[in-house]
Amino acid sequence: MHKSLFALSLVAIALAAPYATAHERGDIIMRAGLVTVDPHEESEDIRLHGTGKLPGTSAGVNSDTQIGLNYLYMLTDHVGLEYLAATPFKHDAYARGLPGDLDGHLGTFKQLPPTVSLVYFPLSPYSTVQPYVGAGINYTYIFETKLGNSAESKGFKGLDMDNSIGWAVEAGVDYMLTDTLILNAQVRYIDINTTATTHLNGTKVSVDVDVDPMVYMVSLGYKY
């Protein structure tokens, strides 16, 4: 009899207790982790002003990994507004296909790619696993452009790169470790376009580059 009453009591408590939600309207989620920017660049031919484009030439950019910060505010139980930030990424820039010994490392630059997106969570707010997709806009701020010593020794002088505004799409998943602690993985495609400019023996040299990186992030999040 006592066991039956105890069992009935447990059932009553379980029915009375509210369900814990993974994501619901008004939640603020902050994530922090490692984020990698992996350029998949497409470059036009390098232009030597006064001469024209140099066929077979191009520019390249390498990858970098930094600390990423991700903030999410749930506008509804299924739609959130997300902001991606990170510590500055540092990339090497390369020239390819130039004649003689002009090929190779050109210089370095830093960039910050703040991105604002609307994200959609299709599953029930009570689901432990929360996949999502999103789309938004990116502004890439490029700074501290610096010509390399080897490029300077070849006659190059100065390096400038334009900032970029473009669109971004993403897919990711949140896994609820507890009611407040979240494991997250996400991947983005960001539309980044820039024009790099330098001078070679007094002649202006420029190239248009679609950097278009894939951005990968793994992080831990906390829900407030």
Higher pLDDT, 99 or 24: 24
Position with higher pLDDT, 4 vs 197: 197
Report residue 160's pLDDT band, with 50, 70 and 90 as the boundaries: very high
Classify residue 111: in a domain, yes or no: yes
Q: Which of 169, 167, 219, 182 is nearest to 35 (CA)?
A: 219
Instruction: Please state the separation of Cα 197 from the chain's center in Å.
Output: 24
Closest CA to 203 of 57, 45, 44, 52: 52
Q: Is residue 32 part of a domain?
A: yes
Q: Which two tokens stand for residue 166?
A: 């473009």
Structural contact between residues 199 and 4, judged by C-beta atoms closer than 8 angstroms: no
**Backbone angles phi and psi of 14, in degrees to 5:** -65, -40
Residue 59 pLDDT greater than 90, yes or no = yes
**Percent of the chain clearing pLDDT 90 (strictly above):** 79
In a domain, 159, yes or no: yes
Domain that holds residue 102: 23-223
Residue 167: inside a domain: yes
Mean pLDDT of 114-118: 97
Say if 69 falls within a structural domain: yes
d(CA 30, CA 69): 7
pLDDT above 70: residue 12: no
CATH number at residue 78: 2.40.160.20
Output the six-digit token pair for 117.
Answer: 């997106």
Grouping H, G, I as helix, E, B as strand and the rest as coil, residue 129 is strand
Number of domains in the chain: 1
For position 98, what pLDDT does the model report?
87
Does residue 15 fall inside a structural domain? Answer: no
> What span, in angstroms and rounded, lies between the C-alpha atoms of 70 and 57?
38
| Percent of the chain scoring above 70 in pLDDT | 91
β-strands 79-86, 115-120 pairing: antiparallel
What's the chain's average pLDDT?
90
Taking a C-beta distance cutoff of 8 angstroms, is the pair 113, 84 a contact? yes
The pLDDT confidence band at residue 223, using thresholds 50, 70 and 90, is very high
pTM, two decimal places: 0.86
Q: What is the pLDDT of residues 139-159, one digit of tens each?
A: 999 999 999 999 999 899 999
pLDDT at 128 exceeding the cut of 50: yes
Supply 86's token pair: 């990170």
Q: Can you tell me the distance from the alpha carbon of 141 to that of 132, in angstroms, rounded to the nearest whole number?
A: 27
Q: Does the pLDDT of residue 24 top 70, yes or no?
A: yes
Domain membership flag for residue 13: no
If you average pLDDT over residues 211-216, what whole number do you get? Answer: 96
Give the model's pLDDT for residue 20.
57
Query: Looking at the domain assignment, is residue 183 inside a domain?
Result: yes
